[in-house]
Amino acid sequence: MVSLVAQSPSGLPAQNPKPTKPLLRRSTLSGTIRKREDAGLDSDILSAPCSPVKRPRVTFNPDVEEKVMEEYSPKLRSLESVRGEVKRAIDAHGRGDSEGYDIIKDIFAPRKEDDEREDQGDIRQYLLALSSNAALLNRGCSGLVGAMLACEWMGRDEGFVKAYVQFLGSLASAQGLYVGSVLGMLVGNFSGVRMSSGRLRGYPTVNREQLTSRIHVALKYLLRLIPSASSTLSPIISSKFPSSDDPKKVHVVYIENLTRLTEYAPELKSDIFALITDRLVKIDVQMQVDLDDLDDGVGAAIVQALTLQPTREVDLDGEDSDSDADSVTSDESLDNDSKRIREVQGNVEKMDAILDLLFTIYDPYFSDPHSLEAASMFETLLGHFTHIILPTYHSRHAQFLLFHFAQKAEHLVDQFAGTCVQLAFQSGRPAILRQSSSSYLASFVARGAHVPAHVVRTVFELIGSHLDHIRAENEPTCRGPDLQRYSTFYAMTQALLYIFCFRWRDLLASDEVLDENDDSFPAGDLNWTPGIKDTLSRTIYSKLNPLKICSPPIVSEFAKIARHLRFMYVYSLLETNKRIRLSQFASGRSNGALRDTGNGGNSESWHQLDGYFPFDPYQLPVSRRWVDPDYVQWKGIPGLDGKEDDDESGDEDEDEDVEVEEDTATDEDGDE
């Protein structure tokens, strides 16, 4: 039998051997318990006492659950242990020893497709530990913070996502220098998340909508935790907005996410809608420039092709594919002209999709046009019109948001028309903005199907009264027609001519009965609203001679209609004007007038107004569904349509984009 008596190093028995045996027993037992508890074992199975002298008989309890013991694994490390490791690694990094720091960075690094390593089982523990030590993540730890912001977090389990969002909050609260980076990372996903982000190895698949929702959950949490973050977020949203060259899908998804953001950050709503309008106008102008650069037939063919095959839905379900037409331009098999056409077609589709989305976004606000919500949103739209749309020359479609929603109720019609009147008549404003305001006013009144007749008459009278004032003030010193000197007068006169061409029926006296089906129409002189004819006569036959300056196609159409309706005969004046050279009266003082684009300063057209009217026929095939019910198409006059007038002026501009007759032809065909 083995002796348990302790001996001294010399081999002699020790003086006091009695405590040795029980001490050894207690030490062995407690050491076994500690090791098993650290390994995650249940201490209940150690309830039987151990004795080296007598071994108890082995029995099996059928109620005890059998477990397979695993080796020690880092997955089972306590949170306190990981916190200590993280703190030590950060402190060492500050002293120049980055070994542990780099190991932690690598834990959060995205795994490459060919990386066979399993996902780090304790990554959540490290995430929680870093949240606890967020105050230590100063500027010197930007590399680690960058790795964490770039990590694959959206596609993991709910517990990890929650912990990650809380980490973002802790980081932004403790270290303000990272607020912009955190917000930028989240907004960077507004252009669309990749489906691969929701297909991480070892985790259930997360669909695109869930991924997007997690981004907004994080943003909402941060904005509530740090209210001042809104001021930081606004410029980030602007800087992350897709460029004009990005495809349709990217723009649509980004705008949808911005709209979703306004639901929980209403303080950003005004900035967000203004940003969308600003970028929309830029795309609109570029699209129009591209169309103008193409041959007229090619541009018309593009619009016609899109009209025949409109695509309302934007594909968001494919695996990061892009079905837009602009993506086809990379095909090397296409020649340069074909690529250019595909590119323009893609831009038209993009503009169409964005506007259709914006009509959809704004429409619920006007479900009750008399509500405070509608009034507030219309004020927002008017602000966009005044500061973004109006100063942009040749905006072609963005303004139709105002055109549509202004006609939701008569008081909104009055409000928009009144804004245009105020801007057109306001002295001190640049002449080019006053001219543009006159064009918007005339075009809205002429083309708005829900603009009441009394509003047409009121606007006509207001413009006429203002023209009388300008004429009386300038006629005594006038030498002859001069666009630079009297640009506002000519712009307002052209507005009256345009309104007359489209809405002459509303300028008749209220007791006038029309029968346009009568073959002899008009059978006699029509009864006009008092003052209408006198106002136009004084204006047209003044020394300022507006019919020489106004756009020739509009003057020609007015002359034909006015003679046919026995309203006014101006062909004698037009013949006289053929002998007048505008260059002899030009003051040489440029004030930015909207002039007809001629071939240089020696061309007569250089001294004439451009026939730009912003609500000319709407060309975008999908979004036009919002506009068509509000739009006045050209209605021919019995006995005049299709007849060539031998007396009309031959000094006409052939530009079909501004010619009233060209518009009437396309209106009747319903293609524009």
Arithmetic mean of pLDDT, 601-618: 80
Residue 456: which H helix or E strand, with range?
helix 453-474
Measured over the CA atoms of residue 216, residue 222, residue 228 and residue 232, the dihedral's sign is negative
Residue 3: its pLDDT value, please?
Answer: 47
The half-sphere exposure of 7 on its side-chain side, counting CA atoms within 13 A, is 6
CA-nearest of 29, 4, 31, 28 to 18 is 4
**What are the φ and ψ backbone dihedral angles of 32, each rounded to 5 degrees?**
-65, -45
DSSP E strand stretches across 247-335: none
Name the H helices within 363-452.
Answer: 372-384, 400-405, 410-425, 431-447
Of all residues in the chain, what percent carry a pLDDT higher than 70?
73
Vertex 391, ends 388 and 392: CA angle to 5°?
80
Decide: residue 374, CB within 10 A, 0-12 exposed, 13-18 middle, 19+ buried.
Answer: buried
Residue 253: its pLDDT value, please?
Answer: 97
Task: Count other C-beta atoms under 10 Å from residue 99's C-beta.
Answer: 9
Any idea which residue has 């780099």 for tokens?
102
Residue 195 has pLDDT above 50, yes or no: yes
CA-nearest of 278, 130, 155, 276 to 207 is 155
pTM, two decimal places? 0.78
354 close to 255: Cβ distance less than 8 angstroms: yes
612 close to 597: Cβ distance less than 8 angstroms: no
Residue 366 has pLDDT above 90, yes or no: yes
Residue 611: its pLDDT value, please?
Answer: 84
- Range ranked top by mean pLDDT from 108-112, 457-461, 508-512: 457-461
Residue 2: its pLDDT value, please?
Answer: 44
609 close to 427: Cβ distance less than 8 angstroms: no
Which has the minimum average pLDDT: 375-379, 444-448, 473-477, 641-645?
641-645
Measured over the CA atoms of residue 157, residue 162, residue 168 and residue 171, the dihedral's sign is negative
Any idea which residue has 């051997």 for tokens?
17
Residue 395: its pLDDT value, please?
Answer: 87
**How far apart (Å, rounded) are the C-alpha atoms in residues 189 and 178?**
18
Q: Record the tokens describing residue 279, joined without a space.
A: 């970028």
Which has the minimum average pLDDT: 22-36, 139-153, 400-414, 568-582?
22-36
Task: Please state, rounded to an integer, the average pLDDT across all residues of the chain.
Answer: 80
Arithmetic mean of pLDDT, 194-202: 84
Arithmetic mean of pLDDT, 288-313: 69
Residue 467 has pLDDT above 60, yes or no: yes
pLDDT digits (tens, 9 = 90+) for 75-100: 457 889 999 999 999 999 999 999 99
pLDDT band at 332 (very low <50, low <70, confident <90, very high): low
pLDDT band at 59 (very low <50, low <70, confident <90, very high): low
Task: Count other C-beta atoms under 10 Å from residue 393's C-beta.
Answer: 14
Name the CA radius of gyration of the chain, rounded.
39
CA-nearest of 517, 534, 502 to 615 is 502
Residue 314 has pLDDT above 60, yes or no: no
| Stronger pLDDT, 387 or 73, i.e. the higher one | 387
| Stronger pLDDT, 62 or 514, i.e. the higher one | 514
Beta-bridge partner residues of 7: 13
**How far apart (Å, rounded) are the C-alpha atoms in residues 641 and 485?**
37
Arithmetic mean of pLDDT, 265-291: 93
Arithmetic mean of pLDDT, 287-314: 69
**What are the φ and ψ backbone dihedral angles of 508, each rounded to 5 degrees?**
-75, 155
The half-sphere exposure of 638 on its side-chain side, counting CA atoms within 13 A, is 11
Packing angle of the helix pair 142-149, 179-187 (nearest 10 deg): 20
Per DSSP, the three-state class of 631 is strand
CB under 8 A, 24+ apart: contacts of 515-519: 516/637, 516/638, 517/638, 518/638, 519/638, 519/639
Residue 4: its pLDDT value, please?
Answer: 43
Task: Count other C-beta atoms under 10 Å from residue 436's C-beta.
Answer: 24
421 close to 462: Cβ distance less than 8 angstroms: yes
**How far apart (Å, rounded) are the C-alpha atoms in residues 46 and 36?**
10
Per DSSP, the three-state class of 485 is coil
Residue 350 has pLDDT above 70, yes or no: yes
CA 489 to chain centre: 37
Residue 600 DSSP one-character state: S
Residue 214 has pLDDT above 90, yes or no: yes
Residue 266 DSSP one-character state: G
